[in-house]
Structure 1
Amino acid sequence: MSVTLHPTDVLTFQRPFNEVITQRLILTNRNAEPIAFKVKTSAPLKYLVRPNKGRAEPGESLEISIFLQPMRTEPPPDYICPDKFLIQSTFITADREKLSLTDIWNAPVMSVIHEIHGQKLRVTYLPSDSTPPQKMTYSELENKYKDALLEIERLKTLLEGAAKPTDEKVRAVFIRPWTGAQGHY
């Protein structure tokens, strides 16, 4: 059991950050039972989430608004944001139907039936005038790195070959037949 989120793994916020910036998160319950959800963040002073908890009926989609509060100073363009969001969900079974959302989440120990599922979202800050960065998997990044190392080795080989001419090139260029008494080649 889990809910479907859109966006699925990254929340992006477009610069400048001198005013409130809103991002929308769509939560869809694709289960046959209603679910309770709540949204947590690693930076609660920077973000306001509405609603931060709630109930979603089977097949229902809800819009969650995430507000990035204005910043005093703009982070550098290459800043990698460490902020994350955790969206937790659990089934509302018949025995929990009459409980409030607070009571559902404050239950001392949840049994296997009342398991909590969590999904994480990273936060990325986008430049003010560009399109979202292209996502790259670890293996794609590793392949680009290996290609770059191979290109460096190829260029080194070319440079070494240019700096040290072969014997035939040396004879052809530097050793000319003696032309006689004039003293030059």
Structure 2
Amino acid sequence: MATPADVRAVFEEKLREGVPNPPGEFNPVDLERVKNDRYMKRLLAHQGKSPQAAADMLWDILTWRKTVGASDINESTIRLDYLKDGTFYPRGRDVDGSLLLVLKAKLHIKGQKDFEELKKLIIYWCDRIEREENGKPITLFFDMDGCGLSNMDMELIKYLIGMFKYYYPAFLNYIVIYQMPWVLSAAFKVVKSLLPAKAVERMKFVGKDNLKDVVPPELAEAINSKDDYKYEFVPENRSTEQTPKKVTFAEQGDSQHSPGEMLRLNPNDTIVFKHDNDDVTGQFTITNMDASAISFKIRTTSPDKFRVRPSSGVLASGSSLTVLIVVQPGFQLRTVAKDRFLVMSVQIPKTDLLPKELADIWQNSTGSKVDEYRLKCLFPEKEIARNGTVVDGKSPEKQDTVTKALNNLQSNYETLHRDVKRLKVFQFLTLFMTAVSVLLGYLVYLHSSTSERYCERM
């Protein structure tokens, strides 16, 4: 399997051959990316695990960044009026916990702004979010509500897509197009053609009725109701004392807790499910290890498969609670075992915040403020064998009856399927024999007619 070291080796070999001028020597800040294993893994993921392709992409990225001066772009080198007008801004997170980068299309009129300045603005946001989210994928959210033909800028959209395609590896979770007017549907067919097949799969067209499928319900409700949310620009904190967020992984034991983390989860990496009367359940305990109160949210890769109680809440410092997860009826346990859970937490000033105050904190949170903990699912083989499918909440004994009925139904279906196939064969043979009979009759008729004419001539 390809490793970050493999990518570095290919890149450094190419680097020894020299850098063309232009652009000249790469920016030392950009070259730091080569030392970052996480960044190397992103390149490999983006390029199908090929070290050569990943190294080539890295070379192209560093060349592009030197050419456009990407590492020198900051709040003092871009148009602040563009930055503050609310055309581009981060807001909230999707169902996977990825930050949304919103393009408010109705605020953009094609040709009214300097396109080169818009490019710098996009680079600023991508670089800033990449730093704050520590390279975690983000979701590009096209808010098309209320826009028309004058708001559709294909050049701008192509530039945005190109950024994620060529210069920000494995940085795109979803492309969400919200409330797209039908008059612009042809334009987004062009956008689809610009994307690789994997990215097209990540494109989601949503309206008010299904927005909650891609963002949490509270954010969906706020966007659908055209809330009075007004983006206010907050300068980036580039303090060297700021530490990146920490994520709990399997290598940490249940009793371990890294300084700076808000929560302790027990178990800390795997939820073990078991049969409990008529349900299949799993659970874990959350303890607030922070000095302040925290708010938490729990997300899963398949919301339709699980009931999570509670799925969000508030914890005072030092307090704990147990989260119960119940598998919904009708899902194969072996399939469910592939799912994952994400626990997110953020500091709050007090435990008795109003719902709107709490929603505002989450919507304005950035990666450096949010802790994340990932949990996988485990179903012991004996549990799978005992309860391979959860059927309408039935006990194992009742499920045996259901299983027998399903088996009988399957057997009857297979018998019926064989009978239908036989019938089709018989129909074909009948049609074939009829056609042969007609053809033979016609040939006999032709022969007899020919014989009669020959006799008349004689």
1:118–1:28 CA distance, 2 compared to 1 (3 A): same
1:179 matched residue in structure 2: none
Structure 2 residue 346 is matched with structure 1 residue 86? no
2:363 matched residue in structure 1: 106
Aligned residue pair count:
122
SS of residue paired to 2:268 = coil
Task: Compute the displacement of 1:110 (Å).
Answer: 3.4
Specify which structure has the bigger relative contact order, considering alpha-carbon pairs within 8 angstroms and separated by 6 or more residues.
1
Task: Compute the displacement of 1:116 (Å).
Answer: 0.6
Task: Compute the displacement of 1:73 (Å).
Answer: 4.9
1:9 matched residue in structure 2: 269
Counterpart Cα distance in 1 of 2:295 and 2:336: 32
What TM-score comes out, normalization by structure 1 length?
0.56
Tell me if the contact between 1:40 and 1:87 (Cα under 8 Å) persists in the aligned partners. Answer: yes
Letter in 1 for 2:374: K
Counterpart Cα distance in 1 of 2:262 and 2:272: 22
Tell me if the contact between 1:28 and 1:60 (Cα under 8 Å) persists in the aligned partners. Answer: yes
Task: Compute the displacement of 1:14 (Å).
Answer: 2.8
1:123–1:129 CA distance, 2 compared to 1 (3 A): closer
1:73–1:110 CA distance, 2 compared to 1 (3 A): closer
SS of residue paired to 2:382 = coil
1:165 matched residue in structure 2: none
SS of residue paired to 2:308 = strand
**Structure with the higher fraction of residues in strand conformation:** 1
Structure 2 residue 378 is matched with structure 1 residue 124? yes
Task: Compute the displacement of 1:22 (Å).
Answer: 1.9
Counterpart Cα distance in 1 of 2:337 and 2:367: 35
Percent sequence identity is: 30
Letter in 2 for 1:24: Q
CA RMSD of aligned residues (A): 3.0
Tell me if the contact between 1:19 and 1:71 (Cα under 8 Å) persists in the aligned partners. Answer: no
Equivalent residue in structure 2 for 1:42, among 286, 292, 301: 301
Counterpart Cα distance in 2 of 1:98 and 1:117: 20
SS of residue paired to 1:105 = helix
What TM-score comes out, normalization by structure 2 length?
0.24
Tell me if the contact between 2:333 and 2:379 (Cα under 8 Å) persists in the aligned partners. Answer: no
Unaligned runs of 5+ in 1: 131-185
Tell me if the contact between 2:265 and 2:286 (Cα under 8 Å) persists in the aligned partners. Answer: yes
Residues 108-167 of structure 1: CA deviation (Å, up to 9, x unaligned): x5385xx0110000011112369xxxxxxxxxxxxxxxxxxxxxxxxxxxxxxxxxxxxx
Tell me if the contact between 1:19 and 1:70 (Cα under 8 Å) persists in the aligned partners. Answer: no
Counterpart Cα distance in 2 of 1:110 and 1:2: 15
Counterpart Cα distance in 2 of 1:111 and 1:82: 26
Counterpart Cα distance in 2 of 1:111 and 1:44: 23
Structure 2 residue 281 is matched with structure 1 residue 22? yes
Structure 2 residue 323 is matched with structure 1 residue 64? yes
Tell me if the contact between 1:14 and 1:128 (Cα under 8 Å) persists in the aligned partners. Answer: no
1:151 matched residue in structure 2: none
Counterpart Cα distance in 1 of 2:345 and 2:309: 16
1:32 matched residue in structure 2: 291
Unaligned runs of 5+ in 2: 1-260, 385-458
